[in-house]
Amino acid sequence: MGDPITAISLWLDGLLAGWGLAPALIIVIKALLGVGALATAVLLVDIFLVWVERKVVARFQDRLGPNRLGPFGLIQPFADVIKLLIKEDITPVGADRIVYNLAPIMALATVLLLWAVIPLAPTVVGTDVNVGVLYIVGVGALGTLGIIMAGWASNNKYALIGAFRTVAQMVSYEVPMVIALLVPVLLARSMGINSIVNAQDSYWFILVAPIAFLLTLITSIAELGRAPFDLVEAESEIVAGFHIEYTGMKFGLFYAGELLHALTLSGIVASLFLGGWRGPGAESFPLLGIVYFFAKAFFLYWVIMWVKYSLPRIRIDQMLNLNWKFLTPLSLVVLVVTALLDKALVGVQPWVYVLVLLAANLVIAWVTLQILRSRARKERQRVAEPRPIARPPAAPVSSQGA
Amino acid sequence: MIPLSYFLVFAAALFSIGLYGVLARRNAIAILMGVELMLNAVNINLVAFWRYITPTQIAGQAFAVMVFAVAAAEVAVGLALVISIYRRRNTVVADDIDLLKF
Amino acid sequence: MTALQIIFLITAVITLGAAAMVVITRNLVHAALWLIMTFFGISVLYVLLNAGFLAVAQVVIYIGAISILMIFAIMLTRRVQQDFGPQTNAAWPWALVIAAALFGGLIWIFSGWGNFFTQAPVMGERADPLRQLGMALVSPEQYVIPFEVASVMLTAALIGAIMVAWERK
Amino acid sequence: MLNDWLFIGIFLVLAPVFPALALVIPRIIAPRKPNPLKSQTYECGIETVGDTSVQFRVQYYLFTLVFLIFDVEIVFLYPWAVAYEQLDLFAVVAGILFIFLLVDGLIFAWRKGALEWE
């Protein structure tokens, strides 16, 4: 009795066949039920995430967080949802109504779509489509589109500037992300997420590709637009960025999408590098796999929040420099080294393979740190030089703004 | 099952729509959009012929990949030209960009 | 009518409608959004053709990169954004005639071809087009030269576009 | 093969339904009293001046351009990585050469200063 999911699936097969339905129709009905169950479960987790977010940020700031409504304030997010539902929703003057309403739907729907390929347990896999990793990148691109639609349709300068910044950041960080994601694909020889999890049966890929893991995590945080990469919604400059004009549930959808996106990306990173649902006994008791998966995903989610509430916001030039002059070259180096070593180490014992790749990663990390240290020394000298405090503007300000 | 004719008719229609866009639009960016439609129609044909005529050889898919690269290069350079012209002449209407005439 | 045919027809009608809106609509940002819809429909057709890799590559490259570049270009040429006048040139009826003639001609040529109504051969369970593609792109007997040339071309396009679009003040 | 995509296809149809529901419910239960003052564009309290479509820097275009080229090239490497088991040394070198051509473009953009935000 280790596998209730397969049992339910078989029972449904028997039941529907008993009604005299065609086999093709049974597959469709089962897929429909699966999608409905998965999406509902994910959205419930999403509501729970509101509570996690508020509780954890309170602890980071030495507060208690929501604690009045229900045990530990657990009912609080439902109250939040009801409040958002009965808020008046205001469409700003001059907005492009269709695009304006479509944008928040896209923001949440694209995040939901990612769950179609994430394996929760050995038997609870939405679908192991053979291009899973690129599917994730592609759906992420659709999310970018939702943001640009929101910013443009709001008919607000700040929203448009915020959307432009967001998109510039998201597309920039997609480059090292796509390169870093190539490393687990190379190691597993497959793009299917579940195939990648299956390939990690003897060791997790974080052991052979720790730098790729860190790169994926950093670029994920940037894709999310969370601190320290939250200059896209810098309150002091452009108020809230692309969702400035959204009220009530429309704003709620952006908020829910952002929280769920964080957990989703944590889950993807956990699947690609931390073995996903793998853990002792997960093969024989698939439900344990769900527990392991969410434990790993929530651990990474907590790391993302830890980073968010610890680091200050970076400037836009620093953001772009970090991406193009540090993360992208580093990811290319990691990819080439991994590819070459993998080909050179054909037929060796697994532990030799792991040790050599781990050592190579450590060497790369050490060299990178040395380069960074010397750059930081120069930067400290540059900043310490005496500079004029304030100057009157020499020429009229050019028309190129924003 | 879907016969090959469906895909070919679809691709021909898409190509014609793209051609109309290229010939009729005034805005240079819109013309580039028409070119994209035509390239996509070509791609559909390549992949359809691969699937229906020579599924064991991968030529159709490989050339579809090349068309992707060409489309990306075309858009990158084309839009760069449009932006450059816009900054100098303040227009993106293709009929007004007739520098080469004189 | 099988289920696949119905899915194809719905997708095709939506895609062609979106493509028509791309060339008709006056607002350029809307044209770009319709273009994205067209790309998405085409990616669904790739799935129907068992070309999963091309389907996701279509979404990543066309929707995720090319469309966003186009939207940026539209917003950079901002005076154009407010141009809601007629977006077609004087010769548009001729363009319509040429496009219709091309469509008719293509259909006429196709209809005389013996394989026009051919059905798709069954793909074996062991067929793996993705792996086959990966090997074909870098194998010396097949497409390694076009592959590397594509890379050179993209690099050249990058250099050229930067030179054209960017001028230091 | 198509069965794999069936799930995603159904997901594609159903995924927008949930957020759309969340937008329809407030239509019914939330108050709706629009007035011209309320629906003004928000800009820190002051009245908005001028046109929404401000002039953007060309840098946004340049970064997206570099991204486009990189994205296309890296997507082509994915089949190469999937087929890695079957590749001989020549094929591996061909892939690495592809990456080096990519690095070429990056070095050019860097040297040219197109990656600086001014």
pLDDT score at A401: 47
pLDDT score at C126: 65
Q: Work out the minimum CA distance from C117 to partner chain B, whole angstroms.
A: 5
DSSP, collapsed to helix, strand or coil, labels residue C151 as helix
Q: Which is more confidently placed, A130 or C82?
A: A130
Q: What is the pLDDT of residues A167-201, one digit of tens each?
A: 888 888 889 999 999 999 988 888 888 888 888 88
Please give the DSSP secondary-structure letter assigned to residue D32.
Answer: -
User: Of the candidates C99, C107, C101, which has an alpha carbon nearest to the alpha carbon of residue C23?
Assistant: C99
User: Of the candidates A14, A113, D11, which has an alpha carbon nearest to the alpha carbon of residue A6?
Assistant: A14
DSSP, collapsed to helix, strand or coil, labels residue A77 as helix
Chain C residue numbers touching A116 (CB-CB < 8 A): none
Q: Determine which of A272-286, A371-385, B84-98, C144-158 has the lowest per-residue pLDDT on average.
A: B84-98
Minimum-distance CB partner of B76 among D68, D75, D76: D68
At residue B40, does pLDDT exceed 90?
A: yes
Q: Which CATH architecture fits C1-81?
A: Up-down Bundle (1.20)
Q: Determine which of A207-211, A314-318, C45-49, D107-111 has the lowest per-residue pLDDT on average.
A: A314-318
How far apart CA A68 and CA A82 sit, in angstroms, is 17
pLDDT score at B94: 64
Give all chains having 3 or more CB-to-CB distances under 8 Å with chain C: A, B, D
DSSP, collapsed to helix, strand or coil, labels residue A118 as coil
At residue B67, does pLDDT exceed 70?
A: yes
Q: Determine which of A13-27, A124-138, B25-39, C70-84 has the lowest per-residue pLDDT on average.
A: C70-84
Non-local CB neighbours of A197 within 8 Å, separated by 6+ positions = A119, A271, A275, A276, A277, A278
Interface list for A 114-153 with D (CB within 8 A): 116-117, 126-131, 133-135
Q: Are C151 and D73 in contact (CB under 8 A)?
A: yes
Residue A211 CA, distance from chain mean position: 17
Q: Work out the minimum CA distance from C122 to partner chain D, whole angstroms.
A: 12
Q: Work out the minimum CA distance from C99 to partner chain D, whole angstroms.
A: 31
DSSP code per residue over chain B? ---HHHHHHHHHHHHHHHHHHHHHB-BHHHHHHHHHHHHHHHHHHHHHHHHHT-TTS-HHHHHHHHHHHHHHHHHHHHHHHHHHHHHHHS--BGGG--GGG-
DSSP code per residue over C58-113? IIIIIIIIIHHHHHHHHHHSHHHHT--S--B-TTHHHHHHHHHHHHHHHHHHHHTS
Tokens coding A282: 């997960």
- For chain C, the structural domain boundaries read 1-81, 130-169
Q: What is the pLDDT of residues D20-48, one digit of tens each?
A: 888 888 888 878 777 777 777 776 666 66
User: Of the candidates A371, A165, C118, A111, which has an alpha carbon nearest to the alpha carbon of residue D11?
Assistant: A111
Reported residue count of chain B is 102
How far apart CA D115 and CA C69 sit, in angstroms, is 17
* CB pair distance less than 8 Å for C22 and B23: no
At residue D100, does pLDDT exceed 50?
A: yes
At residue C35, does pLDDT exceed 90?
A: yes
* CB pair distance less than 8 Å for A28 and D6: yes
Interface test with A, best of D17, D41, D65, D98 (most A CBs within 10 A): D41
Average pLDDT over residues C86-95: 75
Buried-state track A138-155, b at ≥16 Cβ within 10 A, e below 16: bbbbbbbbbbbbbbbbbb
Q: Bridge-partner residues for B25, per DSSP?
A: C88
Going A326 to A329 to A332 to A336, the CA torsion angle's sign is negative
* CB pair distance less than 8 Å for C60 and A130: no
pLDDT score at C1: 63
CATH entry, B4-96, from 1.10.287.3510, 1.10.3720.10, 3.10.310.40, 3.30.450.90:
1.10.287.3510
Q: Are A211 and A365 in contact (CB under 8 A)?
A: yes
| pLDDT tens, N- to C-terminus, chain A (402 residues) | 456 777 777 777 777 777 777 777 777 887 888 888 888 888 888 888 888 888 888 888 888 888 888 788 788 888 888 888 888 877 777 778 888 888 889 888 999 888 888 888 777 777 778 888 999 999 988 888 888 888 888 877 788 888 888 888 888 888 999 999 999 998 888 888 888 888 888 888 888 889 999 999 999 988 887 778 776 666 556 666 777 778 788 888 888 888 899 999 999 999 999 888 887 777 777 788 888 888 999 999 999 888 888 888 888 788 888 888 889 999 999 999 998 888 888 878 888 888 888 898 999 999 999 998 998 898 888 888 777 677 666 766 555 544
Max Cα-Cα span within chain D: 70
How far apart CA B59 and CA D85 sit, in angstroms, is 21
pLDDT score at A370: 92
Token pair 């080469």 is at which residue? B100
DSSP, collapsed to helix, strand or coil, labels residue A204 as coil
User: Of the candidates A81, A78, A51, which has an alpha carbon nearest to the alpha carbon of residue A66?
Assistant: A51
pLDDT score at A27: 78
DSSP code per residue over A340-384? HHHHHTTT--HHHHHHHHHHHHHHHHHHHHHHHHHHHHHHHHHHH
- For chain D, the structural domain boundaries read 2-47, 58-112
How far apart CA D44 and CA D53 sit, in angstroms, is 18
**CATH superfamily of the domain spanning D58-112:** NADH:ubiquinone/plastoquinone oxidoreductase, chain 3 (1.20.58.1610)
* CB pair distance less than 8 Å for B37 and C116: no
pLDDT score at A242: 76
- Of the ranges A189-203, A260-274, B52-66, B75-89, the best mean pLDDT one: A260-274
Token pair 């750059």 is at which residue? A375
pLDDT score at A240: 67
Tell me whether D54 touches chain C (CB under 8 Å). Answer: yes
* CB pair distance less than 8 Å for D65 and B65: no
User: Of the candidates A143, A95, A374, A137, which has an alpha carbon nearest to the alpha carbon of residue A260?
Assistant: A143
A122 burial type by CB count under 10 A (0-12 exposed, 13-18 middle, 19+ buried): buried
Non-local CB neighbours of A26 within 8 Å, separated by 6+ positions = A12, A13, A16, A17
How far apart CA A134 and CA D74 sit, in angstroms, is 11
Q: Are B71 and C150 in contact (CB under 8 A)?
A: no
